[in-house]
């Protein structure tokens, strides 16, 4: 079987990087793309950590074409990751994307490769995730299901899908005006949650790249593939830029499991509404009161910052 190209995103965490790199090393891809953001000038010791981290991925002892995008200056999460994926798909038509804290089960690679091939020309399918947050619940014997949710703790996609990505979400005002989010979610509380999040991303209150990808998939009427079991363990819930403080959350200690082959495919390409509803009810419901409190807190933070200037 052909080995799928991998983009490995690293930064300043040598310990987790080593564990994920060892998993990649066992897979031995024929093409490996390495992207690293530069150290932040105001963080003492980060330059040395970045250097130590980059040294780990130089330990390539198999036949592999290696490409690197190592930044000298820090671009920040939003630009560093999105531009690295841009770079990856300037050179590849499809591939696997792993961050330095996403440890895949060995079967994750075959799972991604087979589904990249199967859905290569199916425009509605935008990505393949290695994550399952159903905590053991299944609604079928299939190996995976189709979802509105785009989980990116280990994932794969195609150039044809990524070319639709827009970091600045320029089409968001029209998306709001036409009430398209009503077509994505029937539950009002879930719609409120996501409308609040996307508003903040569009106004650059959240420094990230991944919500823009979620919006991209939704605005193009796309679906993601999620596995029936969890294939990737996240090692960085206590140290990631957007996951710090989540070390005690129910997703922090999720184990990964081995996918069974041959894969059992769903009979049709359609959203598993029941699975998505279960996921939404656990993570994404927001009351009117909660939304008001959240907006009030953001106003207080902004006002306090203004007063200190």
pLDDT tens for 42-81 read 999 999 999 999 999 988 999 999 999 999 999 999 999 9
pLDDT of residue 5: 98
**Domain ranges across the chain:** 1-100
- Cβ(82)–Cβ(212) under 8 Å? yes
Whole-number Å distance between alpha carbons of 280 and 193: 10
For the chain, which residues score pLDDT lower than 50? 238-248, 287-309
Whole-number Å distance between alpha carbons of 48 and 287: 45
CATH numeric code, 1-100: 3.40.50
Whole-number Å distance between alpha carbons of 12 and 188: 40
**What is the crossing angle of helices 14-27 and 46-56, to 10°?**
10
Whole-number Å distance between alpha carbons of 27 and 110: 9
Tokens representing 250 are 């129910």
pLDDT tens for 139-183 read 899 999 999 999 999 999 999 999 999 999 999 999 999 999 999
Whole-number Å distance between alpha carbons of 218 and 213: 9
pLDDT of residue 2: 78
pLDDT of residue 283: 85
Whole-number Å distance between alpha carbons of 69 and 17: 16
Distances (CA, A) of 223 to 11, 28, 128, 286: 30, 29, 9, 23
Burial 182-215 (b: 16+ CB within 10 A, else e): eebbeeebbbbbbebbbebbbeeebebbbbbbbb
pLDDT of residue 254: 87
Whole-number Å distance between alpha carbons of 147 and 12: 32
Tokens representing 33 are 């793309």
Residue with tokens 């990649």: 24
Which residues have C-beta within 8 Å of that of residue 304, sequence separation ≥ 6?
none
Q: Is 141 helix (H, G, I), strand (E, B) or coil?
A: coil
- Cβ(189)–Cβ(199) under 8 Å? no
Whole-number Å distance between alpha carbons of 29 and 16: 19
Q: Is 277 helix (H, G, I), strand (E, B) or coil?
A: helix
pLDDT of residue 304: 35
- DSSP letter string over 168-183? T-TTHHHHHHTTTHHH
């Amino acid at each position: 079987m052909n080995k799928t190209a991998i983009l490995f995103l690293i930064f300043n965490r040598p310990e987790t990087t080593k564990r994920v790199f060892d998993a990649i090393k066992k897979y031995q891809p024929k093409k490996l793309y390495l992207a690293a953001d530069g150290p932040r000038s105001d963080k003492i010791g980060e330059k040395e950590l970045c250097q130590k981290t980059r040294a780990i991925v130089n330990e390539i002892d198999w036949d592999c074409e290696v490409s690197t995008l190592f930044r000298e200056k820090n671009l920040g999460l939003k630009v560093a990751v999105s531009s690295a994926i841009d770079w990856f798909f300037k050179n590849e038509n499809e591939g696997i994307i792993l961050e330095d804290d996403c440890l895949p089960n060995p079967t994750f690679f075959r799972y991604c490769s087979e589904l990249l091939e199967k859905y290569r020309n199916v425009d509605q399918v935008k990505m393949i995730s290695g994550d399952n947050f159903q905590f053991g619940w299944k609604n079928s014997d299939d190996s995976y299901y189709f979802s509105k949710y785009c989980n990116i703790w280990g994932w794969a996609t195609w150039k044809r899908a990524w070319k639709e990505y827009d970091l600045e979400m320029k089409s968001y005002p029209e998306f709001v005006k036409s009430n398209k989010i009503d077509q994505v979610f029937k539950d009002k509380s879930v719609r409120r949650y996501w409308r609040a999040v996307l508003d903040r991303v569009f106004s650059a209150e959240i420094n990230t790249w991944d919500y823009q990808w979620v919006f991209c998939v939704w605005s193009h009427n796309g679906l993601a593939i999620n596995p029936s079991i969890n294939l990737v363990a996240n090692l960085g819930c206590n140290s990631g830029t957007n996951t710090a403080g989540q070390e005690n959350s129910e997703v922090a200690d999720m184990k990964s499991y081995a996918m069974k082959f041959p894969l059992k495919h769903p009979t049709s390409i359609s959203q598993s509404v029941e699975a998505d509803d279960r996921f939404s009810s656990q993570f994404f419901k927001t009351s009117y009161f909660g939304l008001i409190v959240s907006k009030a807190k953001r106003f207080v933070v902004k006002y306090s910052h203004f007063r200190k200037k």
